[in-house]
């Protein structure tokens, strides 16, 4: 048994892991990853926007930042490195989702999940842009996520 953060991630994505492994085995990696990417995009579009749909547009980014700060204090896998009225940047020191996919032999599936952020956060606010320079799923030792509210 690994640490509780890993186990939580494993429990959250285990079904997705088995679906992905079976799809890759039956359909081949390229076709399966295309379908997985589309499914993860639909999931992320709903998942990330859902908490903000009833909130007026001008209050969404401040609420989003508030939520990130709270999560940072509670889970310790990422910390806030920069913040202003129009942006917030975090650094993830680990990615339990990637760790799980890697342990199951399909780390490339995590890339599909990560790639969804760019479109998904536009659903939170149409002027919200995601910027990244480093991603664990793509071989870096950490992830940096920056959300910028453009005018």
pLDDT in tens, 41-97: 999 999 999 999 999 999 999 999 999 999 999 888 999 999 999 999 999 999 999
User: Is the pLDDT assigned to residue 140 strictly greater than 90?
Assistant: yes
Give the domain ranges of the chain. 4-149
Across the beta sheet with 87-92, the strand order is 78-83, 87-92, 143-149, 128-131
Pairing of strands 78-83, 87-92: antiparallel
Backbone angles phi, psi at 128, to 5 degrees: -90, 120
Q: Are 16 and 107 in contact (CB under 8 A)?
A: no
User: Is the pLDDT assigned to residue 1 strictly greater than 90?
Assistant: no
What pLDDT, on a 0 to 100 scale, did the predictor assign at position 116? 97
Question: Residue 143, by phi and psi: left (phi above 0), alpha (psi -120 to 50) or beta?
Answer: beta
* Cβ neighbours of 81 (radius 10 Å): 12
**CA pair distance 95, 97, nearest whole angstrom:** 5
- The pTM is what? 0.91
- Quote the crossing angle between the two packed helices 117-124 and 57-75, to the nearest 10°: 120
Fold classification of 4-149 is Muramoyl-pentapeptide Carboxypeptidase; domain 2 (3.30.1380)
């Amino acid at each position: 048994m690994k640490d509780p953060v890993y186990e939580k991630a494993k429990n959250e994505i285990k079904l997705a892991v088995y679906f992905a492994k079976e799809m890759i085995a039956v359909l081949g990696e390229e076709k399966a990853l295309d379908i997985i990417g589309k499914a993860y995009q639909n999931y992320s579009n709903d998942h990330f926007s859902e908490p903000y749909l009833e909130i007026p547009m001008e209050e969404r980014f401040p609420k989003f930042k508030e939520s990130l700060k709270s999560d940072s204090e509670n889970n310790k896998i990422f910390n806030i490195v920069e913040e202003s009225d129009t942006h917030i940047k975090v650094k993830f020191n680990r990615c339990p989702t990637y760790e799980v996919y890697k342990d199951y032999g399909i780390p490339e599936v995590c890339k599909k999940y990560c790639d969804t952020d760019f479109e998904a956060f536009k659903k939170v606010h149409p002027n919200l842009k995601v910027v990244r320079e480093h991603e664990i799923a793509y071989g870096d030792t950490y992830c940096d996520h920056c959300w910028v509210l453009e005018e």
